[in-house]
């Protein structure tokens, strides 16, 4: 009888992905070489290149994992019919974006990195916009929001911009703190609050009050 295979190759690949994500988030994707990831893990550069033939392959793998999580979350948009559900989706999205903050910190660089990244970054932004529009339609149909027709696409776009660049804004305001791991709670709460606040002026009376309560809770958590 043989012992179960431990698949050391798979384990190494997962360790590389985890270490690269940490370094990308901390230093910015353009500032991390595959050799730095290998050194951080204490493995040889050759071993890393065996799993990822180029830095672009590594970056694409990390982006694909984030994309998958985002698309799964965005699929729930048609079921968002009350303030709590909107709050849950928007908070969860802020968390996902924080955990892959290297994407949003260097988005323009990633777009120029490879054709694959250009296409996938662009496609994710479009899917995001479509999902926000779907969510707004659902909230309008449930009379949580009162939206006139031309307001819907404009509000959906503003939501995407505020979500996508909320971290860049926080970074520009406080470059030495905003993207450090300790800032996580504040950053996620602030990002979620900023996008919920966009909905508030369109909310029907009891929902506007409910949103104000959530926003005030966020203000407390984010300071």
Interface with a second copy (CB under 8 A), residue from 154, 206, 213, 217:
154
Residues 196-215 that bind a second copy (CB under 8 A): 197-198, 200-202, 212, 215
Please identify, using beta-carbon distances, which residue of 52 and 87 lies nearer to a second copy: 87
Residue from 4, 42, 46, 112 touching a second copy (CB under 8 A): that is 112
> How far, in Å, CA of 125 to CA of 130, rounded?
9
Print the SS3 string covering 167-218. Answer: HHHHHHHCCCCCCCHHHHHHHHHHHHHHHHHHHHHHECHHHHHHHHHHHHHH
Q: Is 28 in the site for a second copy (CB under 8 A)?
A: yes
Instruction: Decide if residue 127 touches a second copy (CB under 8 A).
Output: no
From the list 150, 181, 205, 220, which residue makes contact with a second copy (rule: CB under 8 A)? Answer: 150
> Cβ of residue 132: shortest distance to a second copy, in angstroms?
13
Handedness of CA 118, 161, 145, 77 (dihedral sign): positive
Closest to a second copy by CB, 20 or 178? 178
Distance, CA of 157 to CA of 159 (rounded, Å)? 5
> Which range of residues in 18-26, 65-73, 74-82, 120-128 is near a second copy by CB under 8 A?
120-128
Q: Using DSSP, state whether 82 is helix, strand or coil.
A: coil
Instruction: Give the x-and-dash track for 160-179 against a second copy (CB under 8 A).
Output: xxx-xxx-xx-xxxxx----
CA distance from start to end of the chain: 59
């Amino acid at each position: 009888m043989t012992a179960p295979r431990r698949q050391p190759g798979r384990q190494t690949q997962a360790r590389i992905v985890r270490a690269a994500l940490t370094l990308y988030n901390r230093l910015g994707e353009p500032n991390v070489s595959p050799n730095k990831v290998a050194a951080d893990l204490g493995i040889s550069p050759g071993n890393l290149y065996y799993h990822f033939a180029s830095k672009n392959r590594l970056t694409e793998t990390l982006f694909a994992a984030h994309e998958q999580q985002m698309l799964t979350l965005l699929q729930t948009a048609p079921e968002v019919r009350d303030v709590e559900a909107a709050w849950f989706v928007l908070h969860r999205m802020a968390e996902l974006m924080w955990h892959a903050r290297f994407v949003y910190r260097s988005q323009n660089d990633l777009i120029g990195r490879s054709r694959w990244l250009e296409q996938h970054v662009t496609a994710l932004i479009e899917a995001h916009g479509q999902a926000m529009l779907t969510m707004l339609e659902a909230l309008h149909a449930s009379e949580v929001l009162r939206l006139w027709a031309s307001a819907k696409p404009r509000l959906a776009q503003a939501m995407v911009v505020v979500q996508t660049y909320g971290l860049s804004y926080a970074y520009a305001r406080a470059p030495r703190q905003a993207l450090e791991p300790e800032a996580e709670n504040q950053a996620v709460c602030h990002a979620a609050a900023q996008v919920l606040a966009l909905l508030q002026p369109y909310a029907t009376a009891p929902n506007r009050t409910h949103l104000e309560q959530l926003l005030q809770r966020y203000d407390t958590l984010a300071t």
